[in-house]
Amino acid sequence: MSKVIIIGAGGVANVVAKKCAQNDSVFTEVLIATRTVAKADKIVAEIKEHMPDSKAVFTTATVDADNVPELVKLINDFGPKMVINVALPYQDLTIMDACLETGVHYLDTANYEPKDVAKFEYSWQWAYQDRFKEKGLMALLGCGFDPGATQAFTAHHAKHHFQEIHYLDIVDCNNGNHGKAFATNFNPEINIREITANGRYWENGQWVETQPLEISQDIYYPKVATRKSFVLYHEELESLVKHFPTIKRARFWMTFGEAYIKHLNVLEGIGMTSIEPIDFRGMKVAPIEFLKAVLPAPESLAAGYSGQTCIGVQAKGIGKDGQPKVHFVYNVKDHADCYREVQAQGVSYTTGVPAMIGAMLMLQGEWMQPGVWNVEQLDPDPFFDAMNKWGLPISELADIELVKD
């Protein structure tokens, strides 16, 4: 049906590619392009080994995603209908520029973040709205799990359960064990920047800033565990409070173990999480980039990973019947199951599957519309159907408040 380019070859790209291979009636030809082509070649070799019946044709190429002319040549040579961007958030804008120049649709899983400033927001990408619309192209932003599925969960709340959502809590628990002393489950540079930044949440029409990991509470994650969870800022909050203006408070919670926080505090204390370049043997090196090179690659954690993830959205407000209501929508995924299916750990899996689904819904026309869009602006029903079909079954809990005020 369609040719697509996947840019990136890390843990999430591995999942996206293998789910495309499973869904070969939609994704007929796939090019995986990355700076280190050997990583893309490894993904293709695993597809041939583990999915020999897939009719999708996979090829690989080298590309510098910071270089617009190089991206344009890659896209023009292959002729895809869309680009699935699972590279670094720093590269979102160059890839969007290349898509505009070549006339192809665009999807990513994380919003743009400048490399030299620990700040991520949608304003840079929302500014592309008119350019994509005028060219009849679609850009879908943040279609992973969080962001992505969490926004679809919120849209589902609004469509099926609530007249007004007043309080929104997004919760993300990784109750897994990878056996390492310290490692991050996705790109270390992005992960550590996110956690060490000040927290933020939305309340009564304004952002409230907190110290990193300042606010916490024990939250019960259904079918998994009760875990200490911390408020931090996450990008989907920005778009959700814009598109659902009845929200009075919106927070994002994530679990971290004591050992993880201790390691992080030490690394931060000695300057290893800094994004400011230092002089080292005649070179300018940001300490966090060096740390990333030392830490295990997230995709290397998959074999032997045990435990589950649980990610969900609790909404409180006025139900469709006009009465106060609380409702929770969530997914639980087992790390070992992910490895057996696509040789990935659960965090990569839960990000990669929604990216494939978003691309599928665009290509099939169910979500296709010119302009720049966030997931919550689109119909959640086909997304829910696809999540249940493609490996991320959704559960719901009514009238049980898991996150307290």
At 332, is the pLDDT very low, low, confident or very high (cuts 50, 70, 90)? very high
In the 8-state DSSP scheme, what is residue 297?
A: P
At 118, is the pLDDT very low, low, confident or very high (cuts 50, 70, 90)? low
Among the residue ranges 82-96, 253-267, 356-370, the one predicted with the least confidence is 253-267
* Position 249 pLDDT exceeds 80: yes
Q: What is the pLDDT of residue 20?
A: 98
The percent of residues in the chain predicted with pLDDT above 90, rounded, is: 81
At 274, is the pLDDT very low, low, confident or very high (cuts 50, 70, 90)? confident
Expressed in angstroms, the distance from the first to the final Cα of the chain is 48
Q: Quick one: 316 exposed, middle or buried, by C-beta within 10 A (0-12, 13-18, 19+)?
A: buried
Domain 2-141 falls under CATH 3.40.50.720:
yes
* Position 403 pLDDT exceeds 80: yes
Pairwise CA distance, residues 119 & 204, whole Å: 23
Q: Does 93 or 284 have the greater pLDDT score?
A: 93
* Whole-Å CA distances, 226 to 7, 82, 171, 173: 37, 41, 12, 9
Mean pLDDT of 95-111: 97
Q: What is the pLDDT of residue 293?
A: 86
* Position 334 pLDDT exceeds 90: yes
At the fourth CATH level, the homologous superfamily of domain 149-342+394-398 is Dihydrodipicolinate Reductase; domain 2 (3.30.360.10)
Equal fold, 2-141 vs 149-342+394-398: no
Sign of the alpha-carbon torsion through 106, 110, 113, 115: negative
Q: What is the pLDDT of residue 283?
A: 86
Q: Half-sphere exposure of residue 398, counting CA atoms within 13 Å on the CB side?
A: 6
pLDDT tens, position by position, 183-214:
887 777 778 878 888 999 999 999 999 999 99
Pairwise CA distance, residues 299 & 213, whole Å: 26
Mean pLDDT of 283-301: 86
* Position 126 pLDDT exceeds 90: yes
Ranges of each domain in the chain: 2-141, 149-342+394-398
Pairwise CA distance, residues 162 & 171, whole Å: 19
* Position 152 pLDDT exceeds 70: yes
* Whole-Å CA distances, 158 to 99, 165, 174, 279: 32, 7, 26, 52
* Position 392 pLDDT exceeds 70: yes
Work out the mean pLDDT of the chain and round it to a whole number. Answer: 95
* Position 344 pLDDT exceeds 80: yes
Pairwise CA distance, residues 233 & 251, whole Å: 8
Among the residue ranges 18-22, 103-107, 116-120, 365-369, the one predicted with the least confidence is 116-120
* Whole-Å CA distances, 351 to 87, 328, 356: 13, 20, 9
- The DSSP line for 176-211 is EE-S-SS--SS-HHHHHHHHHSPEEEEETTEEEEE-
Type and span of the H or E element at 333: strand 324-334
* Position 163 pLDDT exceeds 70: yes
CB 306 within 8 A of CB 326: no
Q: What is the pLDDT of residue 117?
A: 67
CB 116 within 8 A of CB 275: yes
CB 370 within 8 A of CB 138: yes
Q: Does 183 or 321 have the greater pLDDT score?
A: 321
The number of beta carbons lying within 10 Å of the beta carbon of residue 105 is 23
What six digits make up the tokens of 294?
């030392």
* Position 374 pLDDT exceeds 70: yes
Pairwise CA distance, residues 317 & 328, whole Å: 12
Mean pLDDT of 289-312: 90
